Amino acid sequence: MAHLLVVEDDDVIGRALMAGLAALGHEVDRVATGADAVERAAAGDLALVLLDLGLPDRDGVGVCREIRDLSPSSVIVVLTARDDEMDVIIGLEAGADDYLTKPVRLAELQARVRAHLRRAETAPLPAGPAAGDRVVLGDLEIDRDRHEVVLGGRPLPLRIKEYDLLVRLAADAGRAVTRETLLADVWDPHWFGSTKTLDVHVAGLRRALARDDLCVPVITTLRGHGYRLDPPGTGPAE
């Protein structure tokens, strides 16, 4: 049974969210402040955090960053009344895996939570036939058996989805991978959330790989199609 945490200061909304998630068969707790959310995350054992950004005591984006640092394996879904695109991007860049905008339909919330938990509980993504358990692309090494990425001889810390995204792109290094395929393989086959999630995670992965002093692969944008991981020296990003 997955343990979920709802971070919501509005009692009516909070109770409705808890009831909707409990109906999925999970154990659900709720806190109303950012401070309590951080304390709960520090205690561990959270499969998913549903985080309202409009908290009474602290900035929700900062709380998201702290939860991500304290609980790297937890799925974080931001729930916010803010529908400005920049707010959404900032939330995702702060460590969230996904977002929902209030008012949220219960059916959509439940479907999104199911999708995230299914993906979190599965084994690491299978690589392509030629990739094996260890992939070397210049100074970048991906060891799927150890679930580790090394860049220039040093471990490269990545968020869960960034790691999964890198593994998926590396499985088809040098070949185009559609947006639909990446969302299905890295998030869920029935994904119907925002596609900004993919773009923000690609941007985060690019920042992590940005090293002028090393020989690293480049993630190339294929506009209107998807992305391609180009081995070092084979092609610039668009």
Q: Domain containing 174 — which CATH number? A: 1.10.10.10
Q: What angle do CA 152, 135, 153 make, to 5 degrees?
A: 15
Instruction: Note whether 74 and 13 are same-domain residues.
Output: yes
Task: Give CB contacts under 8 A, 24+ apart, made by 218-225.
Answer: 219/169, 222/176, 225/176, 225/178, 225/179
Share of the chain above pLDDT 70, in %: 88
In the sheet that holds 176-178, the strands lie side by side as 176-178, 226-230, 218-222
User: Residue 236 falls within a domain, yes or no?
Assistant: no
Q: Which residue has the tokens 């945490």?
A: 5
pLDDT value, residue 102: 85
Same domain for 195 and 100: no
Q: Are 134 and 170 in contact (CB under 8 A)?
A: no
In a domain? residue 20? yes
Classify residue 127: in a domain, yes or no: no
112-127: per-residue pLDDT in tens?
888 888 776 654 444 4
210 plus 111 within the same structural domain: no
Q: Do 41 and 98 share a domain, yes or no? A: yes
Q: Are residues 103 and 160 part of one domain?
A: no
CB-based contacts of 217-226 (< 8 A; 24+ apart in sequence):
217/137, 217/138, 217/140, 217/170, 217/173, 219/169, 222/176, 225/176, 225/178, 225/179, 226/176, 226/177, 226/178, 226/179, 226/180, 226/181, 226/182
**From 57-61, 75-79, 222-226, 232-236, the region with the lowest mean pLDDT:** 232-236
What integer is the mean pLDDT of 189-214?
83
Residue that is last in its domain, among 99, 121, 143: 121
More confident call, 76 vs 123: 76
Cβ neighbours of residue 222 closer than 8 Å, sequence gap 6 or more:
176, 228, 238
Cβ distance 64 to 51 under 8 Å?
Answer: yes
Name the more confident of 62 and 105.
62
Which of 100, 121, 142 is at the close of a domain?
121
Percent of the chain with pLDDT over 90: 53
Mean of the pLDDT values across residues 19-28?
A: 92
Q: How confident is the model at residue 175 (pLDDT cuts 50, 70, 90)?
A: very high
Q: Do 206 and 112 share a domain, yes or no? A: no
CATH assignment of the domain containing 58: 3.40.50.2300
126 part of a folded domain: no
Range of the domain at 218: 134-230
Q: What is the pLDDT of residue 187?
A: 80
> Does a cis peptide bond (omega within 30 degrees of 0) precede residue 103?
yes
146 plus 223 within the same structural domain: yes
Q: Mean pLDDT over residues 212-221, rounded?
A: 93
**Terminal C-alpha separation, the chain:** 44
Q: Which of 65, 98, 121 is the last residue of a domain?
A: 121
Segment among 84-88, 147-151, 186-190, 234-238 with least mean pLDDT: 234-238
16 with 67, same domain: the answer is: yes
Q: What is the pTM of this model?
A: 0.70
Claim to verify: residue 20 and residue 113 sit in the same structural domain:
yes
25 within a domain of the structure (yes/no): yes
pLDDT confidence tier of residue 148, bands split at 50, 70 and 90: very high
Answer whether residue 111 is part of any domain: yes
Tokens 């109906």 belong to residue: 23
Please say whether the beta carbons of 196 and 88 come within 8 A: yes
CB atoms within 10 A of CB 175: 11
Residue at 44 is within a domain: yes
Q: What's the structural domain count of the chain?
A: 2
